[in-house]
Structure 1
Amino acid sequence: MGQGGIGIVVTEINRNILVVEDEKSIRDIYYKALGKATLDTLGKEPFNLFMAASGEEAIKIVCNLMLEGARIAVGFFDLTMPGRMDGVQTIRCVREMDNQVLCTVVTGYGDHRLAEINALFSPDHLDDWDYLSKPFNVGEILQKARCQISGWNHRRAIERQSNELKAMLKEIEELNRTLESKVQERTLELQAKNNELEELLVKLKEMNSQLLQNEKMVSIGQLAAGVAHEINNPIGFVHSNLGTIETYMKRLSQYTLFVDRVQELTSNGQASRVSEFVEELNRLKKKLKLDFILSDLSKVVAESLEGTERVRRIVQDLKSFSRVDEAQLKLANINEGIKSTLNIVWNELKYKATVTTDFGQLPEIPCHPLQLNQVFLNILVNAAQAIESNGQIGIKTFQDGDWAVVRISDNGCGIPEEHKRKIFEPFFTTKEVGKGTGLGLSISYSIVKKHGGEILVESQVGVGTTFEIRLPISSSPLMELGS
């Protein structure tokens, strides 16, 4: 295939093979064996074959590929070639440029140079080369190429996983060092976190005005006050704990200064008063309540960290819910989506009803998870608005054959029979002005249908309402069309 393959786009699977052979008839055998062959184990794309008639030409090919960000995976090297470079010298130069190239030595002159070739490879890379005697057939070349290309790519995959593991370990070590920092550093971190959360509150208020652009944003806008309340509670006790820590630091500093003074007096010839100093230190320690401070400090810090984590989760769920969903379907856990939605809408529910959940074992299903979360939010908000006080909202998930089922029930006012057939129509609403656009259930119906599912409703005035959402566990043509 000559130099024509240099412009290839490097993909995750490296199929680049270099053949260094001075005899055209043998190069033709390589082309016959590998020119249109594929790597069955790692895909159906053909090999990228690069032919060189000399060592110098081979080095040029490797250089050009590396300049383009590509690499040779496997090389077949003839030992005896004309010119200044024989096969051994060519292997040495190629390995100096890229020591991960897997080499196959091809010769018809016996094995008298195998020791010389072996010396080119370090002890931990001795399996990077192999030997093939002339004459050979097409099947031998194809089998050798497939094995070595697979081996090269598997090694790179292992290296990537190893690097990812090292990065994770490094991150864990960094977290451990952070946990072992001093109390004062923790205080500064908590103060910085508090400032960050206050900034997030400002951003949430700014976001609230932007969310009104569509029904999803309308829903977030209606819930913003509740979310802010959920955030303000932990921020309040974090702020209070910071004041407590400041008081503790002042007392610890007062005690430290007195200790330093005692050490100074002792070193100035007043060692005879040690017992007096010790007694005074004990009195001061008791007066400052240092034992209590030391025991309480870790609790104060733990409570503050718990508060900031609560806010982080709320803000993360809110950010995830408000962003644009991905264009392609992806596997997602429906139960986790409902939990995330509950975290956002919780302030809307907790003063109206007791929420009970019964999450069944569901497989991950192909879907647009953020769109489904919008469906859950619309139904949960409607349930809360249908309840005056002291109500019940139940959420149950289970698998019914090839369907994942979500049931959301409430014991609210119910839907009149004449309204039930209209609730999925755009702009239909019985709510007062400012409390609904009439698009929530219409959009929910559209989202479920786009997923190849169905949404059913049962309701009785004065008893309550149940919405049942049925979603296919495997993708359907309708879902792909909706994407």
Structure 2
Amino acid sequence: MIDEVIKTFIIETDAIYGSFYLTSTKIEHITSHGKKLSLDINELLQLSKNDEIVVNSYADTLNILLYKLENGLIIFLYDKNIDLEFITFIYESFRQKLNISINSCLNVQKLEEKNNELENLTLNLKDEVRKALNNYKEKEKQFFEQLKMAQMGELIGNIAHQWRQPLSVISTAASGMKIKKELTILSDEDFFHYADSILNNVNFLSDTIDEFRDYIKESNREKEIIVQDRVKMAFKMVETSYQIENIKIIEDKIEINPIKFKLILGELLQVIIAILNNAREALSGKKSLDKWVKYSVFKDGYSVVITIEDNAGGIKDEIIDKIFNPYFTTKHQSHGTGIGLYSSYDIVVNHLGGTLDVKNSENGAKFYIKLPLYIDYSI
């Protein structure tokens, strides 16, 4: 029975290795599947806890998961890129049923009538594991659909901010020209002044559309870019919305020499814009006249580091470790989905092989994006 359970967990959760040790009277190895490994079971028993599932690093690229039961220890190994939070939740939900199954096995000689119950529990357990994982995959699909809609909403919002001021200028110029013409006081000088104002702002609107169109068109295309230019482009896309909130954009430490490497163009912009939108929202509620966001781009050994800092006062200690969690938001449900920073973390860590952290500085929140330059970002 337990052999089938271990195999089912390995297949359905993409584990590299799984094994079960019986610990009721003496330590007895029952079954193993997957990559052959030499493990110190006594050391692992000391690390395991009766009331919770323990996850520890194993070698450089793996995580080992220890699942302590009443009379046994289940061990799984996973690649470090796999998110174990939901998998751990699944295992925990089956703890009672696994204990019943294993205890039934231990008493099978005395309690022959338990055989049918045991077989049913095993079959039900395998079905429930598959159902739980299928539900998770469906929720993950829904999550990314929701993420696309949220990103589109933010994109439209940024376009609206960029267009509001030039449209107002065009409207004012056209109205002024019409009124002066009706009053027969429209001079050639006035005419050319209004016409130039309208043309300049129309060109600005056209350039804005080109920028956002390129952002959408390039969002799935790999290309060598200059990091400094890509960061500045992200700031330019939110510049107008920052001006409306009287937020200054400050360049801090910028590497002089161009930093080049390949990546999927839209992804880095998506990460930076998500952070900038969060900074704008944090600053919008502040009454201070000196509101700013400061950024840096520089090399650190074999990595490129992008920092984005605001002076909104920082993130509360009790939630700073949760802001990259899916669906976590401090905003009202109607104003925030809690997926922007989670998506940013997923892109930086799982797509680009880097790290994304946040710390509180003396001014406010400071985000650190660190990408290793020696990696070819082919996806």
Normalised to the residue count of structure 1, the TM-score between the two structures is 0.42
Cα 1:417–1:299 shift into 2, 3 Å: same
Q: Aligned equivalents of 1:430 and 1:247: distance in 2? A: 49
Cα 1:458–1:296 shift into 2, 3 Å: same
Cα 1:378–1:295 shift into 2, 3 Å: same
Q: Aligned equivalents of 1:217 and 1:345: distance in 2? A: 19
Match of 1:6 in 2: none
Render the CA deviation track for 1:66-113: whole Å, top value 9, x for unaligned.
xxxxxxxxxxxxxxxxxxxxxxxxxxxxxxxxxxxxxxxxxxxxxxxx
Cα 1:374–1:304 shift into 2, 3 Å: same
Q: Aligned equivalents of 1:345 and 1:438: distance in 2? A: 20
**Is the Cα–Cα contact under 8 Å of residues 223 and 348 in structure 1 kept in the other structure?**
no
| 1:412 alignment partner, one of 312, 335, 342 | 312
Match of 2:168 in 1: 236
| 2:247 alignment partner, one of 340, 348, 353 | 353
Q: Aligned equivalents of 2:333 and 2:210: distance in 1? A: 31
Q: Aligned equivalents of 1:343 and 1:217: distance in 2? A: 22
Instruction: Return the offset for 1:348.
Output: 3.5
| 1:311 alignment partner, one of 205, 208, 229 | 205
Match of 2:273 in 1: 377
**Is the Cα–Cα contact under 8 Å of residues 223 and 345 in structure 1 kept in the other structure?**
no
**Is the Cα–Cα contact under 8 Å of residues 255 and 298 in structure 2 kept in the other structure?**
yes
**Is the Cα–Cα contact under 8 Å of residues 355 and 370 in structure 2 kept in the other structure?**
yes
Give the aligned length. Answer: 228
Cα 1:475–1:249 shift into 2, 3 Å: farther
Alignment of 1:335-350 (within 5 A): 335-350=228-243
Identity across matched positions, percent: 25
> Does 2:200 align with 1:300?
no
| 1:393 alignment partner, one of 266, 290, 293 | 293
Q: Secondary structure at the match of 1:420?
A: coil
Q: Aligned equivalents of 2:148 and 2:264: distance in 1? A: 14
Q: Aligned equivalents of 1:313 and 1:216: distance in 2? A: 24
Residue type at the aligned position of 2:298: F
Residue type at the aligned position of 1:231: W
Q: Secondary structure at the match of 2:159?
A: helix
Larger Rg: 1
Instruction: Return the offset for 1:352.
Output: 5.2
Match of 1:283 in 2: none
> Does 2:344 align with 1:444?
yes
Q: Aligned equivalents of 1:238 and 1:337: distance in 2? A: 30
Match of 2:109 in 1: none
Cα 1:242–1:454 shift into 2, 3 Å: same
Q: Aligned equivalents of 1:344 and 1:213: distance in 2? A: 23
Q: Aligned equivalents of 1:474 and 1:313: distance in 2? A: 34
Q: Secondary structure at the match of 1:444?
A: helix
**Is the Cα–Cα contact under 8 Å of residues 392 and 411 in structure 1 kept in the other structure?**
yes
Instruction: Return the offset for 1:231.
Output: 1.2
Match of 1:272 in 2: none
**Is the Cα–Cα contact under 8 Å of residues 227 and 260 in structure 2 kept in the other structure?**
yes
Q: Aligned equivalents of 1:431 and 1:246: distance in 2? A: 45
Render the CA deviation track for 1:221-269: whole Å, top value 9, x for unaligned.
2463553243132223324434555678899xxxxxxxxxxxxxxxxxx
Residue type at the aligned position of 2:237: I
Cα 1:395–1:417 shift into 2, 3 Å: same
Q: Secondary structure at the match of 1:457?
A: strand
> Does 2:362 align with 1:456?
no
Instruction: Return the offset for 1:218.
Output: 1.2
Match of 2:223 in 1: 330
**Is the Cα–Cα contact under 8 Å of residues 357 and 367 in structure 2 kept in the other structure?**
yes
| 1:368 alignment partner, one of 264, 278, 281 | 264
Higher relative CO (CA 8 A, sep ≥ 6), structure 1 or 2?
Answer: 2
Q: Aligned equivalents of 1:434 and 1:250: distance in 2? A: 47
From the two aligned structures, give the one with the greater helix fraction: 1
Normalised to the residue count of structure 2, the TM-score between the two structures is 0.53
Q: Aligned equivalents of 1:322 and 1:312: distance in 2? A: 15
Alignment of 1:468-479 (within 5 A): 468-476=368-376, 479=377
**Is the Cα–Cα contact under 8 Å of residues 317 and 343 in structure 1 kept in the other structure?**
no
| 1:403 alignment partner, one of 283, 291, 303 | 303
**Is the Cα–Cα contact under 8 Å of residues 405 and 470 in structure 1 kept in the other structure?**
yes
5+ unaligned residues in a row in structure 1: which ranges?
Answer: 1-211, 252-287
5+ unaligned residues in a row in structure 2: which ranges?
Answer: 1-143
Q: Aligned equivalents of 2:323 and 2:342: distance in 1? A: 7
Render the CA deviation track for 1:170-201: whole Å, top value 9, x for unaligned.
xxxxxxxxxxxxxxxxxxxxxxxxxxxxxxxx
Residue type at the aligned position of 1:454: T
Instruction: Return the offset for 1:365.
Output: 1.8
Q: Secondary structure at the match of 2:368?
A: strand
Render the CA deviation track for 1:260-287: whole Å, top value 9, x for unaligned.
xxxxxxxxxxxxxxxxxxxxxxxxxxxx
Give me the CA root mean square deviation: 3.0
Q: Aligned equivalents of 2:261 and 2:273: distance in 1? A: 19
**Is the Cα–Cα contact under 8 Å of residues 427 and 439 in structure 1 kept in the other structure?**
yes
Instruction: Return the offset for 1:356.
Output: 1.0
Render the CA deviation track for 1:392-441: whole Å, top value 9, x for unaligned.
21111122232222110011132223322222222222222122212111
Q: Aligned equivalents of 1:289 and 1:347: distance in 2? A: 34
Q: Aligned equivalents of 2:339 and 2:317: distance in 1? A: 20
| 2:332 alignment partner, one of 402, 425, 432 | 432
**Is the Cα–Cα contact under 8 Å of residues 335 and 397 in structure 1 kept in the other structure?**
yes
